[in-house]
Amino acid sequence: MKVKLIAYTQRAEEVVVSAIRQCYSSLGAFDLQEKTDKETRERLIRQVIESGHTSTLEHATFTFAIEGVSRVTEIQLIRHRLASYSIQSGRYVKRGEVKYVIPRSIRDNEKLLKKYEKYLESCNKMYNSLVDNGIKAQDARYCQPQSLQTKIVVTMNARELLHFFEKRMCLRAQWEIREMAALMLKEVKKVAPIMFEKAGASCVSQGICYEGKMSCGLWEKIPGAILKKRGGRE
């Protein structure tokens, strides 16, 4: 799996703070940006995140190039509506020798791994046979499994990213999307460290677990964290 931040709002935290201050100032955003020092910027960003009034974070966007994730994770990712996606097309990109994601639970079972790899090989042979015999790629792809690797470009604003990390870094999220979210967080922390300093699962970022009786129990180890009586995950 590869995750790289390929574009983002320049001086993202300064832009966000200009938006925060604009709500309460007669000055324009440009002047506010010039007049705000580093200490004030950090204080205001932390203040809006802690208060939950995070609409101003939407002015900062981040674009990621993601490679080597499965169609399973792709489906989970696009459930996050407030984002823009460009995904490698199975209609127009013909696949020869393809790559698949193999879960660790299967890799650790030597006997099942051999069967699994044999199955994947048969799927790929069938796909290539269909294409070689004139079947369009858009139809031939119906025989490909969900473990097929794909490439994605995704853009989210900072507010949506924080929500994404809350849901997908939770231990109840599937392992692959958790790994992807962790790599995405690592990338954005390089360019916007204050906005994402407390980002993570909701028990970490908010001190609240929303998983109810399905909770992993991690919240119990976090001082002051509480458990909400509702749960469920797609």
pLDDT (tens digit per residue) in 31-87 = 666 677 889 889 999 999 999 999 999 999 999 999 999 999 999 999 999 999 999
Q: Are strands 149-157 and 61-70 parallel, antiparallel or unpaired?
A: antiparallel
Q: What percent of the chain has pLDDT over 70?
A: 93
What the block records as the tokens of 190 is 């390089």
pLDDT of residue 29: 67
User: Cα–Cα distances in Å, from 145 out to 6, 92, 94, 231?
Assistant: 29, 18, 15, 30
pLDDT of residue 234: 38
CATH architecture of the domain formed by 2-85+150-200: 2-Layer Sandwich (3.30)
Cα–chain center distance at 34:
33
pLDDT over 70 (residue 134): yes
pLDDT of residue 231: 44
pLDDT over 70 (residue 145): yes
Backbone angles phi, psi at 169, to 5 degrees: -100, 0
Tell me which of 21, 71, 141, 168 is the catalytic residue: 168
What the block records as the tokens of 70 is 């499965």
| β-strand partners of 134 | none
- Enumerate the domain spans of the chain: 2-85+150-200, 96-147, 202-234
Under the banding of pLDDT at 50, 70 and 90, the label for residue 96 is low
> What integer is the mean pLDDT of 188-199?
97
Cβ–Cβ under 8 Å, residues 71 and 147: yes
> What integer is the mean pLDDT of 115-140?
94
> What integer is the mean pLDDT of 112-140?
95
pLDDT over 60 (residue 233): no
> Which residue did the predictor score with more confidence, 94 or 141?
141
> Which residue did the predictor score with more confidence, 219 or 2?
2
Containing H/E element for 133?
Answer: none
> Which residue did the predictor score with more confidence, 18 or 6?
6
What the block records as the tokens of 162 is 């924080």
> What integer is the mean pLDDT of 171-200?
97
CA 114, 119, 124, 129: dihedral to nearest 10 degrees? Answer: 130
Cβ–Cβ under 8 Å, residues 156 and 61: yes
Q: Per the confidence metrics, is the pTM higher than 0.95?
A: no
pLDDT of residue 98: 87
pLDDT over 70 (residue 25): yes
State the number of CA atoms in the 13 A half-sphere of 44 facing the CB.
22
Cβ–Cβ under 8 Å, residues 90 and 149: no
- CA separation for the pair 215, 162 (Å, rounded): 20
The CA-based angle 79-153-87, given to 5 degrees, is: 70
Distant-in-sequence, close-in-space partners of 67: CB < 8 Å, separation ≥ 6 = 1, 2, 3, 149, 151, 152
**233 an active-site residue?**
no
pLDDT of residue 90: 86
> Which residue did the predictor score with more confidence, 234 or 171?
171
pLDDT of residue 99: 93
- CA separation for the pair 151, 161 (Å, rounded): 19
Under the banding of pLDDT at 50, 70 and 90, the label for residue 95 is confident
